[in-house]
Amino acid sequence: MLAATSKGDAEPAILYLADGTVFYGRACGATGTATGEVCFNTSLEGYFEVLTDPSYAGQIVTMTYPQIGNYGVDVDDAQGALGPTGSDASDHPRPALRALVVHDMCRTPSNWRSTVSLPDYLAQQGVVAIEGLDTRSLVQHLREHGAMQGIVSTEIFELDELAARLAAAPALVGTNLVKTVSAAVRRAYTAADLPEGRRFAQLPVDGARFNVVVYDCGIKRGILEGLVRAGCDLTVVPWDTPADEVLAMGPDGGMPDGVFLSNGPGDPDAVEATYTQVQSLLGRVPVFGICLGHQMISLAAGAQMEKLKYGHRGGNQPVMNLISRRVEITAQNHGFGLLFPSLGELVPELSGGVEAHPSDGDLRFWVERGVAPVVSNERFGRIRLTHVNLNDGTAEGIQLLDVPAFSVQYHPEASPGPTDSHYLFTAFTRLMGGDADYLDIDIAKDRLAGWQFATE
């Protein structure tokens, strides 16, 4: 019956989880076998940006939306790093994720920008994919039992062999995946590198006002574009570049105006070569970190991380900004989070008179009180909690009050996702410009900056 439809003669495929749970389906990408941590993404669109996000290295991604691929693929939307040279050959690198899981894969896309169907792209890139299984049941299982190791195969169906292969696969915790996705050499990224295809909707970029060094831990193109559109010329460096070299990368060998710490995959504790450099940078130059970069700042301050049960992945995560009291709908992709109390003891006079951290660790305690609490950190002085996830009460952002630095756990670039958090790029430029109230921004107004709209 399938042979008479757009599905064609699909080969069988299997997903086997570490706890022995099995899902059967059909192949819809490359043939082969792949192991990784099985997680899920709740975005309703933007599957190609998700697929090409380097932060998914080491993972098998399940899309919760039922049909994926209906608008095809335009490779110009790829979010992977530019590669070590920035040459044409490395413009669209292979996706970093291990495999893709969907309920229904569309093989006949409808979109004027599409150049290839998603299953054909997956096959070209060597990405194993499976469709036809009950993704609702799979996601419910992961929510109840947590993200776990799994194996997807189109060639092995003996459960004992799948279990043996999975047992021999490396675990996500303790593995440094950043070094597998970071560029190998330094490169520049300026307004001249912005994509031509979006100029019909975006205003021209004014001249750059700041020189920023970007640690590439698996950075997305959308983040580079967001920084450039905010007025920055960028020097992108490998994940383990020494701090002393970074501090000499400004104009004429002087200090740069700021340092940006990018997103990236996997266990933050395994990326010691980055957060030890951040220790040397904090207090000497303005620093802004997102996602893994947020975790690098936190670890540099001596904080502890926790592995979240199933992480935050999708473009619909609600976050309370404790300073503005505005709720942002954010795009996120991470499986680890900051334990805010590990940064230090509360400063009661700066924390609404509260003397002790909430015993259950739920930071929505501060949302209910309308307080942005401050702790005393042994290394960098006062640190304020600025953002809280409203779904689970985890930390989503911090601000160092005695050194020029701040960070958020989510992505402000909207590739894919909402534009609520665009103001963070503006905040970084204000920090570099010496504005003490750099986070005091009209979020609603800022999110419209840089776009051109029809007047008739």
Q: Is 292 annotated as a binding residue?
A: yes
Q: Are 118 and 282 in contact (CB under 8 A)?
A: no
Q: Is 142 annotated as a binding residue?
A: no
Considering the candidates 291, 334, 387, 422, report the single residue annotated as catalytic. 291
Among the listed residues 37, 49, 328, 413, the single catalytic one is 413
Distance CA(70)–CA(104), nearest Å, equals: 10
DSSP state of 86: -
333 is in an annotated binding site: yes
DSSP secondary structure letter of residue 73:
B
User: Are the C-beta atoms of 63 and 100 separated by less than 8 Å?
Assistant: yes
In the DSSP assignment, the letter for residue 185 is: S
| CA dist., res. 125 & res. 245, Å (int) | 36
Partners of 411 in the β-ladder: 331
Distances in whole angstroms, Cα of residue 302 to Cα of each of 264, 287, 316, 363, 381: 20, 17, 30, 19, 12
Interatomic CA distance for residues 25 and 12, integer angstroms = 6
67, β-bridge pairs: 104
**Distances in whole angstroms, Cα of residue 264 to Cα of each of 96, 194, 231, 238:** 11, 22, 23, 12
Residue 239 near residue 246, CB atoms below 8 Å: no
State the Cα–Cα distance between residues 395 and 320, nearest whole angstrom. 10
264 is known to lie in a ligand binding site: yes
Q: C-alpha angle with apex 419: 366 to 180, nearest 5 degrees?
A: 90
> Between the CA of residue 223 and those of 86, 300, 449, what are the distances in Å?
16, 22, 16
Question: Which of helix, strand or coil describes residue 437?
Answer: coil
Closest CA to 261 of 228, 223, 233: 223
Please check if 55 is assigned to a binding site: yes
Is 411 annotated in the active site? yes
Please check if 295 is assigned to a binding site. Answer: yes
Summarize the annotated binding site as residue ranges: 55, 264, 266, 292, 295, 333, 335-336
Summarize the annotated binding site for L-glutamine as residue ranges: 55, 264, 266, 292, 295, 333, 335-336
Residues annotated as catalytic are 291, 411, 413
